[in-house]
């Protein structure tokens, strides 16, 4: 159960690593620089956050040996390229398209796949190790994807979120009013009330349909890339990691988008392929990554990989990849760490890759109740307002710090000084406490029930 520490696009940490002998990295958080001399590093978009998050630099040249690639069609993502029911073009949230009719006749993620394969072909003829970061936009909004993927998710089969109502015990400061969605033309036409909505049921189903279709579109791009990796005979010597920078609410708690501390926005996929460890090397004629067309009537069944249920964090990605690649794992960062050139925050997850032929050694994993994942999210005020989702640093007045364990999620919203970057934990604005066994969707806030007495010992990290 991997967690990101903030459900927004990540700010710059310290660059990225260059593990050996080869690493193909899916959409990912930024991780510390660990760049041995002579190892080419190539980024494709969404592995970095263009603009202010990287100080308008794309983290180049500090993190990359070649300039970051940006698809030429990326410029059209938020323009009027979505055909509406009126036949006109709009800047919509829901944007299934005929790829042949869009500007340049392609989409950014398609271009990123093509560029990644071109780079892999170049690496095949080189004897040098490499690090390639491939970032995909979808299912980031707007949901602009090839329209044929809607067929995989008929609208009549789309269900609503299991808990589409704003929970009665949810503190107002914890709610995100999904203002970025409201700015899209098709959502503006719904004339929704602010901050709680709600979105009409039929439109909720359309949002969920387009999100699922966008994910399947992304899945085909990843499939094509992995198939090319194998066709180029690089799969037996390349570590592959697949992850995301945040989750996305699809109506849960009456929320949409990613601006909260709930599991639905902080939980992300985290998958690894390590040659000879996570899967045996293929026999002659066998394929590790056969491309599966989602539109085929009969799809081949794939043997599932091993699953770990421990709580882990994306800050563990850097030391894990460094260790898997045989690099030295830097020491933990001191507090403060601004004077340290290279350090890490997360712990290595190498223990999860020590497999026996028959079954895993349970002793390697320790007590799952000792695992903790942290997240936080800023707010400009105690009640939802126009900049609640993405406040500027100077406007942050409250910070929500959250602890997730195997048993519970505990969040406190406290006063925050943006000038000093300091939280005041004696200035508690609100709190949340959810017991995940009895309340897996986190709808029943028990925080106020614990006031007047100490938390049970089991809730103390």
Strand 239-243 and strand 22-25: the pairing is parallel
pLDDT score of 59: 77
214 pLDDT more than 70: yes
DSSP 267: B
Q: Which of 384, 408, 402 is closest to 457 using CA atoms?
A: 408
CA distances from 327 to 6, 109, 323 (A): 27, 31, 6
Q: Which of 242, 215, 222 is closest to 117 using CA atoms?
A: 222
CA dihedral 111, 117, 119, 122 (to 10 degrees): -140
286 pLDDT more than 90: no
Burial degree of 106 (CB within 10 A; 0-12, 13-18, 19+)? middle
294 pLDDT more than 70: yes
- Mean local confidence (pLDDT), 215-244: 96
Position with higher pLDDT, 308 vs 184: 184
Question: Residues 331, 322: contact at Cβ < 8 Å?
Answer: no
Question: Residues 211, 257: contact at Cβ < 8 Å?
Answer: no
pLDDT score of 374: 94
- Mean local confidence (pLDDT), 236-259: 95
pLDDT score of 227: 96
CA gap 130, 234 in Å, rounded: 11
Residue 259: how many CB atoms within 10 A of its CB?
26
What sign does the dihedral 141-147-148-150 (CA atoms) show?
Answer: positive
pLDDT score of 50: 66
pLDDT confidence tier of residue 443, bands split at 50, 70 and 90: very high
Q: What angle do CA 452, 458, 461 make, to 5 degrees?
A: 95
pLDDT confidence tier of residue 36, bands split at 50, 70 and 90: very low
Question: Residues 398, 415: contact at Cβ < 8 Å?
Answer: yes
pLDDT score of 181: 96
pLDDT score of 10: 40
User: What is the chain's length?
Assistant: 461
pLDDT score of 280: 83
Residue 56: how many CB atoms within 10 A of its CB?
8
Residues paired with 273 in a beta bridge: 240
> What's phi and psi for 25, nearest 5 deg?
-115, 125
pLDDT confidence tier of residue 154, bands split at 50, 70 and 90: very high
CA gap 126, 120 in Å, rounded: 10
pLDDT score of 391: 95
CA gap 247, 272 in Å, rounded: 18
pLDDT score of 308: 81
Q: Which of 317, 244, 303, 213 is closest to 10 using CA atoms?
A: 244
CA gap 14, 53 in Å, rounded: 12
CA distances from 436 to 68, 125, 160, 267, 353 (A): 41, 51, 21, 14, 27
For the stretch 69-107, pLDDT in tens is 999 999 999 999 999 889 999 999 999 999 999 999 999
CA gap 460, 124 in Å, rounded: 51
pLDDT score of 365: 54
List Cβ neighbours of 420 (8 Å cut-off, separation of 6 or more): none
Examine residue 21 and say whether the peptide bond preceding it is cis (omega within 30 degrees of 0): yes
Q: Percent of the chain beyond pLDDT 70?
A: 82
Mean pLDDT over the full length of the chain:
85
**Cα–chain center distance at 335:** 27
pLDDT confidence tier of residue 264, bands split at 50, 70 and 90: very high
pLDDT confidence tier of residue 44, bands split at 50, 70 and 90: low
């Amino acid at each position: 159960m991997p967690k990101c520490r903030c459900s927004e696009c990540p700010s710059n940490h310290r660059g990225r690593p260059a593990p050996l002998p080869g690493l193909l990295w899916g959409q990912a958080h930024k991780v510390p620089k660990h760049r041995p001399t002579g190892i080419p590093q190539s980024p494709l978009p969404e592995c970095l956050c263009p603009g202010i998050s990287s100080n308008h630099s794309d983290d180049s040249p500090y993190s990359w040996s070649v300039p970051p690639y940006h698809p030429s069609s990326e410029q059209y993502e938020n323009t009027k390229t979505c055909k509406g029911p009126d036949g006109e073009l709009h800047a919509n949230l829901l944007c299934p398209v005929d790829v042949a009719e869009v500007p340049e006749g392609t989409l950014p993620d398609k271009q990123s796949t093509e560029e990644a394969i071109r780079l892999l072909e170049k690496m095949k003829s080189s004897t040098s190790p490499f690090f390639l970061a491939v970032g995909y936009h979808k299912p980031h909004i707007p949901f602009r994807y090839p329209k044929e993927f809607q067929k995989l998710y008929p609208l009549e089969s789309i269900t609503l979120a299991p808990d589409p109502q704003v929970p009665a015990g949810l503190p107002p400061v914890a709610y995100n009013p999904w203002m970025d969605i409201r700015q899209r033309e098709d959502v503006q036409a719904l004339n929704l009330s602010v901050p709680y909505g709600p979105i009409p049921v039929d439109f909720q189903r359309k949002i969920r349909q387009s999100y699922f279709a966008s994910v399947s579109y992304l899945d085909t791009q990843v499939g094509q890339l992995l198939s090319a990796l194998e066709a180029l005979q690089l799969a037996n010597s390349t570590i592959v990691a697949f992850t995301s920078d945040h989750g996305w609410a699809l109506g849960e708690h009456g929320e949409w988008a990613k601006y909260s501390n709930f599991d639905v926005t902080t939980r992300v996929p985290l998958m690894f392929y390590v040659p000879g460890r996570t899967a045996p090397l293929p026999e002659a004629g066998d394929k590790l990554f056969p491309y599966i067309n989602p539109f085929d009537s009969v799809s081949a069944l794939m043997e599932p990989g091993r699953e770990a249920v421990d709580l882990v964090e994306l800050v563990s990605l850097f030391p894990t990849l460094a260790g898997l690649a045989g690099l030295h794992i830097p020491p933990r960062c001191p507090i403060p760490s601004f004077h340290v050139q290279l350090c890490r925050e997360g712990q290595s997850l190498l223990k999860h890759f020590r497999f026996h032929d028959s079954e895993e050694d349970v002793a390697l994993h320790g007590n799952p109740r000792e695992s903790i994942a942290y997240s936080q999210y800023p707010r400009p005020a105690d009640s939802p307002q126009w900049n609640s989702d993405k406040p500027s640093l100077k406007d942050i007045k409250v910070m929500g710090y959250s602890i997730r364990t195997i048993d519970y999620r505990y969040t406190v919203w406290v006063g925050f000084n943006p000038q000093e970057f300091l939280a005041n934990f004696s200035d508690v604005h609100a709190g949340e406490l959810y017991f995940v066994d009895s309340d897996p969707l986190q709808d029943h806030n028990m925080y106020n029930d614990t006031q007047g007495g100490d938390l049970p010992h089991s809730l103390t990290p």
